[in-house]
Structure 1
Amino acid sequence: MSDHVLALDIGGTKVAAALVDGAGRLTHLQQRPTPHGDAEALWAVIAALVSDVRGAGSVAAVGVASAGPVDIPAGTISPINIAGVRGFPVVDRVGELTGLPVHLGGDGLCMAMGESRAGAGRGARFMLGMVVSTGIGGGLVLDGIPYHGRTGNAGHVGHVVVDAGGQPCSCGGRGCVETLASGPNLVRWARDNGWQAAPDADAKTLAAAAVRGDDVALRAFRRGAGALAAAVASAAAVVDLELVVIGGGVARAGAVLFDPLRGALGTYAGLDFLRDIEVAPAALGGDAGLVGAAALAREGR
């Protein structure tokens, strides 16, 4: 039997597919832009990628990471960031195409699984993986096992409320950590507080300004890091975490995010069992979702 798994990662910008071996190494990686507005257009992209990558070698199973929400019992996906795709039966469709077992996970959980099995989380039993980018997502690995929750959406830490009565969130709630610490919201706050930058400036631009010592940019990252620290401490108190691995575009800011985040944790993580939580940058970059999806399939999770 082949030790390779075919992994898919379905996101709002691109759909990626690869063969993944038992050590989490990717081969035959291919990707295409994500079509919007029609579920069958998305399926055409998925089917083409599956056929192309599968032709490169034999595989034992298929793992699918998808932007959420997902519905694991139903095997469907309804990504908020892919217009026109709601309740799409991806497990059944991929299974019919390949004749193989298909395992579905939310993209945050798959990121956490990838880092747990082959990245910065190796050896940790109780960890949270976070993706801090245009939005904020996450996934939990508890006692070494991926925790899907009731529907497959457990670990959605971006919607932990850290500012009661705060700004409305895209999820329909208010005061979520995403409203303070996502890339666009860091930039929005910085502009509202006097940061001068080009109209197309983004979180990467803001991070570069912070590295240069720009006061408003540094304040923006300290504010966002404080919100992340509050969310991390809250999640850790609920499930007794030992490690939080953070990836995504905003996390690439490096020390201007991680230093104030680690510092702020002391403000919120006051209980003895919370004081030794480690926070680490992700190691796998954009490959984490594929590696994690493959791990779900390989382990039958």
Structure 2
Amino acid sequence: MYKLGVDLGGTKTEAILLDENLNVITRKRVQTPKNDYEQIVNTISLLVSELTENISNFSIGVCTPGAISNQTGFIKNSNTQCLIGKSIKKDLENKIGKKISIENDANCFAMAEAKMGAAIDYGLVFGVIMGTGVGGGIVIDKKLHSGRTNIAGEWGHHILHRNGNLCYCGKNGCVETYISGPALEKEWTNQTGKFLSLIQILSDIDNETGKKWKEDFLENFGYALANVIDILDPDAIVIGGGLSNIDFLYTEGKKSVYDKVFSDLVDTPILKNKLGDSAGVYGAALLT
């Protein structure tokens, strides 16, 4: 049976068709409609139709921001807020005329990196997304662990600083409000009075202002991931998302994490992803 995966991202939606040996048959990327739920459903449906035009024997997996509530069947905890409260699984199945599997983007990322990427040789894998938001997924012996209520791995909404930065989820002090891309840009503005993109900030952080910003980033990164290791003690951590390209996370960042873990021995591998921004779409295909 062929495997079709769809990755619904904030800016792009990608679909991929794999054969039985996980070889790529075809793939396509299009722009994600902004804040328009109906157009998102239509876009995914059209991609599925286009990639499977001459194929009938295929399964479908979809990677989406947020998770499906076991109680309501609706999307919850999504930073693509037009999805919240929508029955995207049911709506897609009605539109496409076929059953689908659906998981959040961090779970799909973790699945792909555990089965095909940087963590293929490890048992318990914690997959980290650090980009516009902060998320995580847990894979145990190549099987996704979603948890009792589909929130396993959501380290981005652990409280890092009590009464800290306000998060879109309604709480204060979430990890996401300190080490996501937008949060880091906001912190630079707070410290300097000037806005720069994250790329611009990282291009020159050797001055005094840059050093303070970097120290704060590493401190928050260290505590956030150390908390995960203390609870989960994974065999490996894989970092994905736009911030995964920051080289010092694997050197100074790793040291900051290790310094804060509750153990006399800390050797958890902290790995850069191998599948890049295609991990989500591969992970979606692997759900079925």
Shift of the alpha carbon at 1:23? 5.2
Give the secondary structure class of the aligned counterpart of 2:29: strand
Identify the residue that residue 160 of structure 1 maps to in structure 2. 158
Deviations 1:15-35 (Å, cap 9, x if unpaired)?
A: 221113455544422122222
- 12 and 56 in structure 1: CA distance in 2 versus 1, 3 angstrom threshold: farther
**2:252 aligned with 1:254, yes or no?**
no
Specify the code of the residue in structure 2 equivalent to 1:159: H
Specify the code of the residue in structure 2 equivalent to 1:144: K
Deviations 1:122-145 (Å, cap 9, x if unpaired)?
A: 111111111111111111112432
Shift of the alpha carbon at 1:74? 5.6
- 122 and 269 in structure 1: CA distance in 2 versus 1, 3 angstrom threshold: same
Give the secondary structure class of the aligned counterpart of 1:172: coil
Shift of the alpha carbon at 1:262? 0.8
Alignment of 1:50-89 (within 5 A): 50-55=48-53, 57-71=55-69, 75-78=73-76, 80-89=78-87
Shift of the alpha carbon at 1:290? 0.8
Identify the residue that residue 274 of structure 2 maps to in structure 1. 283
TM-score normalised to structure 1 length = 0.86
What is the rounded CA distance, in whole Å, between the counterparts of 1:119 and 1:22 in structure 2?
Answer: 18
Indicate if the aligned counterparts of 2:66 and 2:75 stay in contact, CA closer than 8 A.
yes
Indicate if the aligned counterparts of 1:134 and 1:184 stay in contact, CA closer than 8 A.
yes
What is the rounded CA distance, in whole Å, between the counterparts of 1:21 and 1:218 in structure 2?
Answer: 49
Identity %: 28
Match of 1:268 among 260, 264, 271: 260
Indicate if the aligned counterparts of 2:163 and 2:172 stay in contact, CA closer than 8 A.
yes
**2:231 aligned with 1:238, yes or no?**
yes
Specify the code of the residue in structure 2 equivalent to 1:115: E
Alignment of 1:179-258 (within 5 A): 179-194=177-192, 199=195, 201-210=196-205, 213-255=206-248, 257-258=249-250
Indicate if the aligned counterparts of 1:17 and 1:31 stay in contact, CA closer than 8 A.
yes
Shift of the alpha carbon at 1:12? 2.1
Deviations 1:224-277 (Å, cap 9, x if unpaired)?
A: 23222222221222222121101111121222x3322111123211324x6121
CA RMSD of aligned residues (A): 2.3
Indicate if the aligned counterparts of 1:66 and 1:77 stay in contact, CA closer than 8 A.
no
Identify the residue that residue 117 of structure 1 maps to in structure 2. 115
Alignment of 1:88-167 (within 5 A): 88-167=86-165
What is the rounded CA distance, in whole Å, between the counterparts of 2:91 and 2:113 in structure 1?
Answer: 28
- 266 and 73 in structure 1: CA distance in 2 versus 1, 3 angstrom threshold: same
Give the secondary structure class of the aligned counterpart of 1:87: coil
What is the rounded CA distance, in whole Å, between the counterparts of 2:182 and 2:242 in structure 1?
Answer: 11
Which piece of structure 1 moves more, 122-131 or 35-44? 35-44
Q: Which runs of 5+ in 1 are unaligned?
A: none
Deviations 1:157-183 (Å, cap 9, x if unpaired)?
A: 111222222222222111111121111
Which piece of structure 1 moves more, 17-26 or 157-166? 17-26
- 54 and 225 in structure 1: CA distance in 2 versus 1, 3 angstrom threshold: farther
TM-score normalised to structure 2 length = 0.90
Q: Which runs of 5+ in 2 are unaligned?
A: none
Which piece of structure 1 moves more, 64-73 or 237-246? 64-73
- 82 and 193 in structure 1: CA distance in 2 versus 1, 3 angstrom threshold: closer
What is the rounded CA distance, in whole Å, between the counterparts of 1:234 and 1:154 in structure 2?
Answer: 14
Give the secondary structure class of the aligned counterpart of 1:296: coil
What is the rounded CA distance, in whole Å, between the counterparts of 1:268 and 1:163 in structure 2?
Answer: 15
Give the secondary structure class of the aligned counterpart of 2:192: coil
